[in-house]
Amino acid sequence: MKLQRQELKDLMKHKMMQAGLHEDHAETTAEILTWSHERGYASHGAVRVEYYSERIFKGGITVDPKFTWTQTGPSTGIFDGDNGIGYVIAKEGMEKAIAMAKESGAAIVGMANMSHSGSIGYYTEMAAKEGLLAISFCQSDPMAIPYGGTEPFYGTNPISFAAPTADERTVVFDMATTVQAWGKILDKKSKHEPIPADWAVDEKGLPVTDPNLVNALVPIAGAKGYGLMMLVDVFSGVLLGVPYGKHVTSMYHDLSEPRQLGQMHIVIDPARFIGKEEFEKRMSACLDELGAVPAAEGYGKVYYPGERAVMRRDRYYATGGIDVVDELVDYLKGDAIHFDRYDHKNRFAE
Ligand code: NAI
């Protein structure tokens, strides 16, 4: 079914408010979920509302969090989110980082004690829209083997970076450090289809094509992706005093408990290097040159990171609205909230 942007956003906001989230936090969360969904990241859009609502209702997300901001140096600070909704904490953390980078040239802001914050490209894009460069990392629940291992240790630990240009284009790179998200494996399982051998491993840590035998996801590009996952966890977990690695809480384990996740934003003002205008001019030139690289057969053209997401968004609106599966729309529009779908499921719950 197709929904207009405002309609989808209002439905999500209303549902999370029914579960107990205050209006301002529900508004921010629904806005960021809409940003993801309209860019084609359906796995980080409306489908998440049912889970968040259950967690909000059960107390695993603090609805009246006491945020604490501690500036630890001219360019560093820690934002403690008191386990409120992750979207608001990551957004406020980025607002602090943007202000600090404008003041001192760079900012490194850690956010501790938060819940899931969704597509992290939203936050890096905020900085790029202010003419700044940004990187963000965050933890997620252990689902991936460390290279060569048999048991999950790290999460899908995403990395995003964003950069402005001299025109309307914004580079927003935003990826999980696992080859595939768990959602894609579930999709194959429901269709009784095999998965490619490089997506996941079984209990022995060996490649598996039967989705029913999956024990863990695998890092992108073997040992290299494993190193990137570790980087994310060191910067946003070990460094911030929140649980790290295999101690990170599972998304569906106990929805009445806080998740205590960590995230890190790093923001740089190009004015302190080559200068804002020159930087943006060079970025635009770079994207033009990338777009002019002849495409390999079957590829159409070379895209810059984030370009296709914006194209998906524009395509949605040119064709009457955002696609949301009917069942989800029924849930969002209905009176039922469902408080018994996710609690105590294992990490590979359907
Ligand atoms: P993806 O695989 O769809 O895209 C990864 C990156 O590659 C993007 O920056 C995209 O712009 C770029 N890209 C893809 N195809 C391209 C092409 N043909 N040419 C040029 N660039 C291209 O993303 P993935 O890894 O599936 O992640 C999806 C979302 O999930 C992200 O928003 C991420 O932040 C989010 N996520 C959040 C987690 C959390 O715990 N908060 C955990 C894991 C992922």
Q: Any idea what the Cα angle at residue 190 is, between residues 188 and 196, rounded to 5°?
A: 15
In this model, does residue 348 exceed pLDDT 70? Answer: no
Q: Residue 51 is part of which domain span?
A: 2-61+310-333
Q: Residues enclosing ligand 1, CB less than 6 A? A: 41, 44, 116-121, 138, 140, 156, 158, 160, 173-176, 181, 303, 305-306, 308-309
Q: Collect all residues with Cβ–Cβ distance below 8 Å to 331 and sequence separation of at least 6.
A: 15, 49, 50, 338
Residue 294 Cα to ligand 1 midpoint, Å, equals: 24
As a whole number of angstroms, the longest Cα–Cα distance in the chain is 55
Claim to verify: residue 110 and residue 245 sit in the same structural domain: yes
Claim to verify: residue 33 and residue 54 sit in the same structural domain: yes
Q: Is residue 296 part of a domain?
A: no
Q: Which of 136, 175, 178, 180 to mutate to test the pocket of ligand 1 (most atoms within 8 A of CB)?
A: 175
342: confidence class by pLDDT, cuts 50, 70, 90: confident
Residue 330 Cα to ligand 1 midpoint, Å, equals: 28
Residue 7 Cα to ligand 1 midpoint, Å, equals: 25
Claim to verify: residue 266 and residue 232 sit in the same structural domain: yes
Q: Is residue 196 part of a domain?
A: yes
Claim to verify: residue 180 and residue 238 sit in the same structural domain: yes
Claim to verify: residue 57 and residue 96 sit in the same structural domain: no
Segment 150-161, tens digit of pLDDT: 999 999 999 999
Active site residues: 116
Claim to verify: residue 12 and residue 102 sit in the same structural domain: no
Segment 133-186, tens digit of pLDDT: 999 999 999 999 999 999 999 999 999 999 999 999 999 999 999 999 777 887
Claim to verify: residue 79 and residue 196 sit in the same structural domain: yes
Ligand 1, atom nearest to 172 Cα = 9
pLDDT confidence of residue 109 = 98
Residue 104 Cα to ligand 1 midpoint, Å, equals: 31
CA gap 88, 72 in Å, rounded: 21
